[in-house]
Every structure is written in C-alpha cells, then in structure tokens.
C-alpha cells in the first residue's frame, strides 16, 4: 500500500508539474496575490519533507534573518512549490550531512520587498559544465540520475519559470562531492498592515548561556 501511495503521489506531482508548465507556456498562468506568513510557509515545507530527511539521517534546518517581515503579499502556493522542489532535490541528492534553508531580506521599500532564499546541501554536487543546463526542461545531470534517484528533470525548469514570473532570479553554486547551494530571489508586495518585526522581547546582553545540540547549525 505504501508503494501504491508513493507511486500515486509521484504521478500526481508529475501531472501537476506538466500542467503548470504548459499553462505558463500558453501564457495562461495567473499568480495569486494574498497575504501570507513567510516563516510559516517555509516551516510548512520543512515539516512536510522532514520525514524523508529523518529517514536518510540528513539534518534539515530552516533559518530566518531577524529583519524579515512576518507577513507579505504574493502567491504562497507557488512560493512553497519552489522551495519544495529545491529542498526535495537537496534531500534526494544528499547521503549524509545537512540541508539548510536560509531566508533573508535583500531590500525593502514601502510597497515592495525582495527576499533571497538559499538551500544548502552537503550532497553529491554538480559539475560546472552542467550547472547551466539543469534549469532546462527534462534535463538531468546524466541518464544514470534517473536510474539511481528517479525524477523527471522538470522541477528546476518549472521553478525557474515561477521565479521569473515573480520578478526574481534563480541560480546554483556547486562543487562535485562537496554539495550545492541553490538560491532564488523574489519580489513580493508588502503586507497592507505594517507588521512588527519579530525582535526578541527580552534583553540577553551580558548573560551567560549554555547551548547544547548535536548539530553545529542548530547551535
Ligand atoms: P529531477 O529532480 O526530477 O530529476 P530537477 O529539474 O529538479 O529534476 O533537477 C534536474 C537535475 O539537476 C537532477 O536530475 C539532478 O541531476 C540535478 N540536481 C538538482 N538538484 C540537485 C542537488 N541539490 N544536488 C545535486 N544534483 C542536483
């Protein structure tokens, strides 16, 4: 039953990707414009992929810069879809180590703001000569990728289209055997009501702290 359920999910996400892709190509793709919580959106993706990371003993951590606004206005479904693609790949191509998602604010004006998301992994990495190609549709690093890891080579192409529709850019820095960092920027509208920044309400200055965790990034 698990295999049937997994296969159905894989097929469903493939069909959705193909439909989205052809909608974009036909110029029929409409982005939503609703208020959403940035941190919550990233945490939802992390929660949905945590089980897969845990099974592979890969540490999965989201990190947010302190100046990030709480609420923004844009298309949360597509925002989550891009992060799901990048983080899903990062976990898939990492055998040991960690996957970390960094979300930072690049610039903001009264009406618009630009955010940058980076997904770091300590996985197999990608050779320089194929890095530009992997954003093309149906492209994988080599044919053995499909045999070993599955996939269709459509996720990054779709992510690139979505990022561009939202006025951003996408790219990758990677070293074979060391890992990859996929990044993208997005321009979003500021939330109508100015949300207070999440600043700590207690002053920790001068206090001694003991921080214990087996993972360096969490520490
Ligand atoms: P899929 O994952 O379905 O094959 P994608 O378009 O998402 O398709 O990715 C295209 C190819 O880029 C992958 O098949 C893989 O070869 C390479 N790739 C993507 N992300 C990573 C990563 N984090 N580490 C190593 N290779 C990657």
> Quick check: CB of 123 below 6 Å from ligand 1?
yes
**Do 184 and 116 meet the contact criterion of CB atoms below 8 Å apart?**
yes
State phi, psi for 83 to the nearest 5 degrees: -65, -40
Q: Which of 82, 156, 171 gets mutated to test ligand 1 (max ligand atoms within 8 A of its CB)? A: 156
* Length of the chain as a residue count: 219
Instruction: Single out the residue of 48, 100, 108 nearest to residue 73, CA to CA.
Output: 108
pTM of this prediction? 0.87
Residue 66: per-residue pLDDT? 87
Contact between 84 and 119 (Cβ < 8 Å): no
Residue whose CA lies nearest to ligand 1 atom number 25: 125
Neighbour count for residue 86 (Cβ, 10 Å):
27
- Nearest-CA residue for atom 14 of ligand 1: 140
DSSP state of 127: -
Q: What is the mean pLDDT of the chain?
A: 88
Q: Per-residue confidence at 1, pLDDT binned at 50, 70, 90?
A: confident
């Amino acid at each position: 039953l698990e295999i049937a359920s997994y296969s159905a999910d894989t097929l469903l996400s493939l069909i959705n990707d193909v439909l989205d892709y052809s909608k974009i190509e036909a110029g029929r793709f409409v982005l939503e414009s609703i208020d959403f919580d940035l941190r919550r959106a990233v945490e939802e993706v992390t929660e949905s992929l945590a089980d897969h990371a845990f099974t592979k003993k890969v540490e999965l951590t989201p990190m947010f810069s302190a100046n990030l606004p709480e609420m923004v206005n844009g298309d949360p479904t597509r925002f989550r879809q891009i992060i799901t693609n990048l983080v899903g790949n990062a976990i898939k191509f990492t055998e040991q180590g960690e996957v970390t998602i960094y979300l930072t604010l690049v610039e903001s004006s009264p009406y618009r703001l630009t955010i940058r998301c980076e997904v770091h992994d300590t996985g197999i990495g990608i050779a320089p000569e194929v890095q530009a190609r992997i954003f093309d549709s149906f492209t994988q690093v080599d044919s053995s990728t499909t045999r070993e890891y599955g996939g269709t080579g459509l996720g990054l192409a779709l992510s690139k289209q979505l990022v561009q529709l939202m006025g951003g850019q996408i790219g990758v820095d990677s070293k074979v055997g060391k890992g990859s960092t996929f990044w993208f920027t997005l321009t979003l509208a500021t939330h109508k009501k100015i949300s207070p920044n999440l600043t700590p309400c207690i002053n920790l200055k001068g206090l001694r702290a003991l921080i214990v965790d087996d993972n360096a990034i969490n520490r």
